[in-house]
Amino acid sequence: MVNRLPLEETVLLDLRPTEQEQELVCGLSKRLLAAIARSGKAEGMVVGSIARHTWVKGDRDLDIFMLFDPVLSREQLEEEGLSLARGIAGSFTDQFHEKYAEHPYINATIDDVDVDLVPCYHVDSATHIQSAVDRTPFHTRYITDRINGLIDDVLLLKQFTKAGGIYGSDQMTGGFSGYLCELLILHYGGFTPLIKAAATWHPGLVIDIEKHAAKKFDEPLVVIDPVDPKRNVAAAVSLDRMAEFVELARGYNEKPVYEFFAHPMERCILKKELAAIISQRRTFIYAITFATPQYIPEIVVPQLKRSVIALREFLERNGFSVHHVSYDMQADRCMFLLELLVGELPAIRQHYGPPLWNHENADKFRKKHLVEHLSGPFIENGRYEMEVFREYQTARSLLSSDALLMVSLGKHVRQSLEMGWTLHEGAECWQEEFAPFIAEFFDRRSPLTRILREK
């Protein structure tokens, strides 16, 4: 008998799918599987949380895998798989389109259910996979065989991480996937023992349910895949997301309240509010917006992350002290948001030459700059120095210049910026589509801090 808090029983009433919802999704899955079987080209299989009965009410994401003979080449799999998926989707709806992960698949909306029709290889072991998606059926079988009696615990954990803003293994979130949540529940034997244990977690934690790890991992949280000893299921979990989960667990252990399961209110900000914040902080705010590269988020987001770090270093190298930078990606446009401690610099700067003891280079430096109009070269601390005019006296002029394209940007981000970008300053950085992102930029709080303040 599971001893659950009354609060958790109440929360579960809103998490368990209704009978009507289950009938709708299960009925649709049976019809899709029958259509695949009639084709005679592949074997159909429902995977993911719906197959494992660990889906939260309202999350109607139906994943149907079409398992093809492994003798097919990769090109044949893509060609025949997409052809079959298009044909099946087209027989149910006209609302479908092609998406791309490791290889193409079809996404469709059927009876208000989001359906993915994914081709993969029918391999006999997860260690013999030919593409990443081949592993998924093994995940489904593993969890389905063991999850009975713990489904409600999985629902609680999923909602707990969603409310904390750390659910999702996508590049933007860097958090907990549904499969990881299921494995954690299996390992600890329920939601309550997991939350109690997580309060004492430290980076470097390794969980190996099957005790079969075949390699070492460097990520802060390591959960060895029970069906693949060379894979870390928690590889996407960043150090910060792990720390935030620990913080949430500590807070919940201390005082469990409904807010730990409530979806956080979306933060927003008006232009006049942004102006007031900038006036109060007396910092310098710049926003660079540009067209979103036409690639999947798994490709674009890491490039945005690298690019904004490079932008920070670029500004610092040019003398502009940076307080905070971040990025956001919308369907059509991306934004780099930068908060600087200084927006304008003196017209001159120090330029350092070699030590006098470096005879040859010191002579070259002195002769090269002999006719400069500013002070120098002079000797300071045993080396040549001189004063030169600064090329960019304002952050605005620097961020508007083509020098921006010389930064170590991600490939597709650079291509997008080469087509043009818009620079805004101060309150003019406000744009409606980025309002939640801008609000969060200035209102950074840990998940527990947010919960306690909202309460």
pLDDT tens profile 362-389: 999 988 888 776 788 999 999 999 888 8
Domain final position from 239, 260, 281 = 260
Q: Is pLDDT at 105 greater than 80 in this prediction?
A: yes
Q: What is the tens place of the pLDDT at every residue in 214-269?
A: 999 999 999 999 999 999 999 999 999 999 999 999 999 999 999 999 987 778 89
> What pLDDT is attached to residue 46?
96
CA distance 239 to 257: 26
| DSSP type of residue 56 | P
CATH code (residue 47): 3.30.460.10
Q: What is the largest CA-CA distance in the chain?
A: 88
Q: Is pLDDT at 455 greater than 70 in this prediction?
A: no
Task: Clarify whether residues 76 and 196 are in a common domain.
Answer: no
> What pLDDT is attached to residue 103?
76
Q: Is the residue at 367 inside a domain? A: yes
Interhelix angle 447-454/239-254, nearest 10 degrees: 40
Average pLDDT over residues 81-87: 95
Domain final position from 96, 116, 143 = 143
Considering the chain, what is the average pLDDT of its residues? 93
- Domain membership of residue 122 as a residue range: 16-143
Q: How confident is the model at residue 109 (pLDDT cuts 50, 70, 90)?
A: very high
Average pLDDT over residues 103-124: 92
Q: How confident is the model at residue 289 (pLDDT cuts 50, 70, 90)?
A: very high
Task: Clarify whether residues 157 and 83 are in a common domain.
Answer: no
Task: Clarify whether residues 357 and 322 are in a common domain.
Answer: no
Give this prediction's pTM: 0.88
Task: Clarify whether residues 256 and 399 are in a common domain.
Answer: no
Number of domains in the chain: 4
Q: Is pLDDT at 2 greater than 70 in this prediction?
A: no
Q: ∠ at Cα 439 (434, 445), nearest 5°?
A: 135
Q: Is the residue at 22 inside a domain? A: yes
CA distance 301 to 191: 32
HEC profile of 410-435: CHHHHHHHHCCCEEEEHHHHCCHHHH
Indicate the range of 176-190, 211-225, 289-303, 409-423 predicted with least confidence: 289-303
Q: Is the residue at 7 inside a domain? A: no
CA distance 163 to 28: 29
